[in-house]
Structure 1
Amino acid sequence: MDDASITGTININGNDLYYEHYKHSQATDTLLLIHGFLSSTFSFRRLIPLLREEFNVIAIDFPPFGKSGKSKKFMYSYENIARSIISFVEHLQIKNLSIIGHSMGGQIALKIAHLRPDLVARTVLLCSSGYLKRMKLPLVLSSYLPFFHLYVKRHLAKSGVMKNLVNVVHDHSMIDDDMLNGYLVPFLKGDIFPALTRMIRHREDELDEYDLKKIETPCLLIWGEHDRVVPLRVGKRLKQDLKNSELIVLKETGHLVPEERPEIVHKYIKEFLV
């Protein structure tokens, strides 16, 4: 198989967007993978090898996460991130596109489908964020304080990568050094914390039921039965509001479905897309 892998960055809207492009020699369909909050393309490491057997696959780090830019001038709202990804897709002239979004990445995928339904053939939502309101006003106002990013850094350091992984994974025995290091690396440089401060300031309400009901893009929702981050009730509500959707619930699974159940997730995605 003469498939090729490309990694690189493209400057979009004044910020670098890191991507990994796995080209399939015969596939005509492309899957765009969008990770969740405080994550990166690393979270798809077990799913990508399966998907690239049948599809062109592109995984991105949306700003300010992973290896993407952390500009202090970029607006880290859902809409601007979504429009930046749309510009990225248009820059690469990608056709026959479907989007797979995990957690916050699912909300960004929905935003893209809402803004540009002509661009997206199908959407797969893995434990997608849904119905969140923007941060409370006192916190938004506090984000303008000169050293607020140090509070953000201290808060994340206090919670810790291990504590977060225990919260997102149902079977804690799968947490090893490789997983710990993979989720820790993006936070070893301090430039992410001012950018996260801007995200606290800029992140708007998530799509409400009125806007969700406008989306006609076929959607597959895959949820972990024991998701403690975005509970199953959110998936059931999304199933009601997305008119062209189906919901699959995975037993003995938490929030991090691409890591916990890559084989079964791949099976359902393939059935949905082919």
Structure 2
Amino acid sequence: MENNTFVSFLKVLLLGTIVFYISTHLSTSRIVEYVSQDAKKLTIEGIQVAYREYGKGNFETIVFLHGFAGSSYDWKVLIDVLSENYHCIAFDIPPFGLSEKKNDFDYSDESIVRLLIKSLDSLGIEQFTLVGHSMGGYLSLAIASIIPKRVERLILFDAAYDVNSEDLQNPGPPFKLKDEHLLKFYQIFLDVGLKTYPLFKFVYRNSLAEGEILNAEHFDYLFSQNYFLPAEILIKFTKDKAAQKPLKIDLEGITAKTLIIYGEKDQITPPSIGEYLSKSIKNSKFMLIPNEGHMPLSNRLVIELVRKFLIDILE
């Protein structure tokens, strides 16, 4: 009986190993295809920032900021529609996507916001519409409050924001992981998770709202773009975020006409955040999308809402 159990264990282990190497090979092929596409790079504050540019430069500019562990590819469906009439620029926020992954870079929100504004300056972009999802939505709020005269319109998709003012004033103790053995285990766990297709898919699927369908193409690119992200960089990113002082975002000082979109079933950034932002930002409109979770970016209803908002016919 014990022998049969041991043999079964070996079979499972062998199968897992085969799946790991096959999935790694397949994902690597996808990565090669992905990185050969139309990404551009510029160097700001000693780090390479990747971005993708679509449409004509003389069109009105729309800037896109993705969420945590995302990339410029997250906006593909929306940009495919909008780039016919707009100049679209989608950034890979360091250390994600094709942007450089440096262990000595400051990944705090303040640093990232400064980096993005300098990137816009470097590209000669003065007036623009700003679109952000999740973490990118939070960064968009910060940018719109810092340079309000340059942001003409603001579109937020399931934006991350802490509505608890006490928490904002008292962010709590910084992230500490001093035990070297625990740190090593965490790093190995992240490395395996980021590079093992089945495990990554399991985690991603469990982040979806009930009834939300996994977009296979988007997931494959999500896996590919995080394949090159070392665990030590993700740990550095996490530490910088946890130890930072919260950004002081003046919501009432945002002058851009604002569209706030949340998925009805979003379990990561609940719609109540959107309702709060809508009440705090003047000249804003809140839209709740039925049967959508945290990633409504490719929803055809949402794309039509955005299109109407941009040409001022959204009721």
Answer yes or no: same fold by TM over 0.5.
yes
Q: How many residues align?
A: 263
- Could you say what secondary structure the match of 1:45 adopts? helix
Which runs of 5 or more residues in structure 2 are unaligned? 1-36
Query: C-alpha offsets along residues 64-122 of structure 1, whole Å, 9 cap, x if unaligned?
Result: 00110111111101111111111111111113311100000000111111221122111
- Could you say what secondary structure the match of 1:57 adopts? strand
| Residues 115, 161 of structure 1: alpha-carbon distance in 2 compared, 3 angstrom cutoff | farther
Which residue of structure 2 lines up, in the alignment, with residue 63 of structure 1? 94
| Residues 11, 238 of structure 1: alpha-carbon distance in 2 compared, 3 angstrom cutoff | same
Which residue of structure 1 lines up, in the alignment, with residue 240 of structure 2? 202
Which residue of structure 1 lines up, in the alignment, with residue 129 of structure 2? 98
Which residue of structure 2 lines up, in the alignment, with residue 164 of structure 1? 204
- The question of 1:31 aligning with 2:62 is answered yes
Which residue of structure 2 lines up, in the alignment, with residue 273 of structure 1? 310
- The question of 1:16 aligning with 2:16 is answered no
Q: 1:215 aligns with which of 254, 262, 273?
A: 254
For residues 135-214 of structure 1, the aligned pairs below 5 Å read 137=173, 140-142=175-177, 148=183, 151-152=186-187, 154=189, 157=193, 160-168=200-208, 171-176=211-216, 178-191=217-230, 193-203=231-241, 204=244, 207=247, 211-214=250-253
Partners of 1:170 and 1:257 in 2: CA distance: 14
Query: C-alpha offsets along residues 193-237 of structure 1, whole Å, 9 cap, x if unaligned?
Result: 2222222222235556x7222222221101111111101111111
For residues 239-254 of structure 1, the aligned pairs below 5 Å read 239-254=278-293
- Could you say what secondary structure the match of 1:213 adopts? helix
Q: Is the 8 A contact 1:229 1:255 kept in 2?
A: yes
| Residues 136, 30 of structure 1: alpha-carbon distance in 2 compared, 3 angstrom cutoff | same
| Residues 143, 222 of structure 1: alpha-carbon distance in 2 compared, 3 angstrom cutoff | farther
Q: 1:130 aligns with which of 147, 161, 166?
A: 161
| Residues 214, 181 of structure 1: alpha-carbon distance in 2 compared, 3 angstrom cutoff | same
Q: 1:255 aligns with which of 280, 285, 294?
A: 294
For residues 105-116 of structure 1, the aligned pairs below 5 Å read 105-116=136-147
- The question of 1:230 aligning with 2:265 is answered no
| Residues 255, 194 of structure 1: alpha-carbon distance in 2 compared, 3 angstrom cutoff | same
Deviation at 1:170, TM superposition (A): 5.2
- Could you say what secondary structure the match of 1:18 adopts? strand
Partners of 2:185 and 2:81 in 1: CA distance: 40
Deviation at 1:45, TM superposition (A): 1.8
- Could you say what secondary structure the match of 1:70 adopts? coil
Deviation at 1:150, TM superposition (A): 5.2
Aligned-residue sequence identity (percent) comes to 25
| Residues 41, 52 of structure 1: alpha-carbon distance in 2 compared, 3 angstrom cutoff | same
Query: C-alpha offsets along residues 137-167 of structure 1, whole Å, 9 cap, x if unaligned?
Result: 26x1217959737515515829733332442
Partners of 1:237 and 1:153 in 2: CA distance: 39
TM-score by length of 1: 0.85
Root-mean-square deviation (CA), in Å? 2.7
Q: Is the 8 A contact 2:51 2:89 kept in 1?
A: yes
Q: Is the 8 A contact 1:40 1:60 kept in 2?
A: yes
Deviation at 1:38, TM superposition (A): 1.1
- Could you say what secondary structure the match of 2:101 adopts? coil
TM-score by length of 2: 0.75
Which stretch shows the higher mean deviation, 127-136 or 85-94? 127-136
Which residue of structure 1 lines up, in the alignment, with residue 23 of structure 2? none
* Matched residue type, 1:269: V
For residues 67-82 of structure 1, the aligned pairs below 5 Å read 67-82=98-113
